[in-house]
């Protein structure tokens, strides 16, 4: 999921921008959420330290803090190198700093007319969603599924394992930050995935990259977040291989 983060020191403007974002997500029915809307850049950095984020960031430049929006963007790049950064500001004259600090901004929106701002924010959200959902490189591969009226894309590296559901013809996808139940068959899923995934049990398909340890005696796989899945005796050798 693409997380949206806002940093704006003016409460009225922050609320307005946040509302624009929420409206766009709802209208387009996108698999996004506002993870944080704050005035203090330190709060943004603290959040990134404690959460693995693929983000779209809307930042003011002048944050009335010892860290301005350009510096904040530079810090964001350390935690989320492929994140999408958009500046929403009155300071048109500072746009050149985005090149000096190499923050690769997606857009630089000037606060002049709120209808214009709303439309530009909407376009940024659509562009970020399109790029996030694409399978441009092997490292950025996404698993895409349809759940009711939504198309959901999840990065391979965030998937822990797939498990057959108690509901017939359904599978549960366990990711680092969410669980999704959808109609499918394990065999169909297995055929779509790459070599990092291994069918370790008739009911489990595991991402080897996210295994913490394997208990051979009890035939249990412990994932990096503490969740567990089973491994069949006859498939243990293939997993270690």
Which CATH number fits the domain that encloses residue 107?
Answer: 3.40.50.2300
User: Is 114 found in the same domain as 226?
Assistant: no
Last residue of a domain, one of 93, 112, 133: 133
User: Is 160 found in the same domain as 122?
Assistant: no
Cα distance between residue 2 and residue 82, in whole Å: 11
Helix axes 69-79, 41-50, angle to 10 degrees: 0
Residues 165-200 pLDDT 10s: 999 999 999 999 899 999 999 999 999 898 899 999
User: Is 143 found in the same domain as 125?
Assistant: no
- 53: pLDDT confidence band, cut at 50, 70 and 90? confident
User: Is 186 found in the same domain as 168?
Assistant: yes
Last residue of a domain, one of 73, 101, 133: 133
Domain, as residue range, for 236: 138-240
Residues 65-122 pLDDT 10s: 888 888 999 899 889 988 999 998 886 655 555 544 456 788 888 888 888 999 999 9
Tokens standing for residue 57: 């960031």
Q: Which residues contact 135 (CB under 8 A, 6 or more apart)?
A: 141, 142
**pLDDT value of residue 141:** 78
User: Is 171 found in the same domain as 123?
Assistant: no
Q: In what order do the strands lie in the sheet with 228-230?
A: 211-215, 220-223, 228-230
**Cβ burial, residue 125 (10 Å; 0-12/13-18/19+):** buried
Tokens standing for residue 160: 């822990």
**pLDDT value of residue 98:** 53
Share of the chain above pLDDT 70, in %: 92
- 203: pLDDT confidence band, cut at 50, 70 and 90? very high
User: Is 120 found in the same domain as 14?
Assistant: yes
Cα distance between residue 162 and residue 203, in whole Å: 8
Contact at 8 Å (CB) between 182 and 173? Answer: yes
Number of domains in the chain: 2
Instruction: Indicate the pTM of the whole model.
Output: 0.62
Residue 14: CB atoms within 10 A of its CB come to: 19
174 beta partners: 161, 179
User: Is 45 found in the same domain as 112?
Assistant: yes
Helix axes 114-133, 11-28, angle to 10 degrees: 50
Cα distance between residue 44 and residue 35, in whole Å: 10
Residue 186: CB atoms within 10 A of its CB come to: 17
**pLDDT value of residue 103:** 62
169 Rama sector, left if φ>0, alpha if ψ -120 to 50, beta otherwise: left
User: Is 42 found in the same domain as 86?
Assistant: yes
């Amino acid at each position: 999921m693409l997380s949206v983060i806002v940093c704006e020191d003016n409460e009225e403007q922050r609320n307005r921008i946040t509302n624009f974002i929420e409206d766009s997500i709802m209208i387009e029915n996108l698999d996004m959420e506002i993870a944080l809307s704050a005035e203090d850049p330190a709060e943004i950095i603290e959040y990134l330290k404690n959460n693995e984020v693929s983000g779209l960031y809307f930042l003011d430049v002048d944050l009335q803090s010892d860290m301005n929006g350009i510096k904040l963007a530079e810090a964001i790049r350390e935690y989320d190198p492929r994140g999408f950064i958009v500046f929403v500001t009155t300071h048109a004259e500072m746009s050149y700093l985005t090149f000096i600090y190499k923050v690769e901004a997606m857009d630089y929106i000037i606060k002049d007319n709120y209808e214009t701002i709303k439309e530009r924010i909407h376009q940024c959200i659509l562009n970020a969603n399109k790029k996030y959902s694409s399978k441009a490189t092997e490292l950025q591969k996404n698993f895409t599924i349809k759940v009711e009226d939504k198309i959901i894309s999840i990065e391979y590296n965030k998937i822990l394992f797939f498990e057959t559901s108690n509901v017939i013809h359904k599978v549960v996808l366990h990711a680092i930050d969410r669980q999704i139940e959808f109609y499918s068959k394990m065999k169909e899923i297995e055929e779509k995935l790459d070599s990092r995934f291994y069918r370790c049990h008739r009911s489990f398909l595991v991402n080897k990259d996210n295994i913490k340890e394997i208990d051979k005696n009890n035939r249990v796989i412990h994932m990096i977040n503490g969740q567990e899945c089973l491994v069949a005796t006859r498939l243990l050798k293939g997993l270690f291989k």
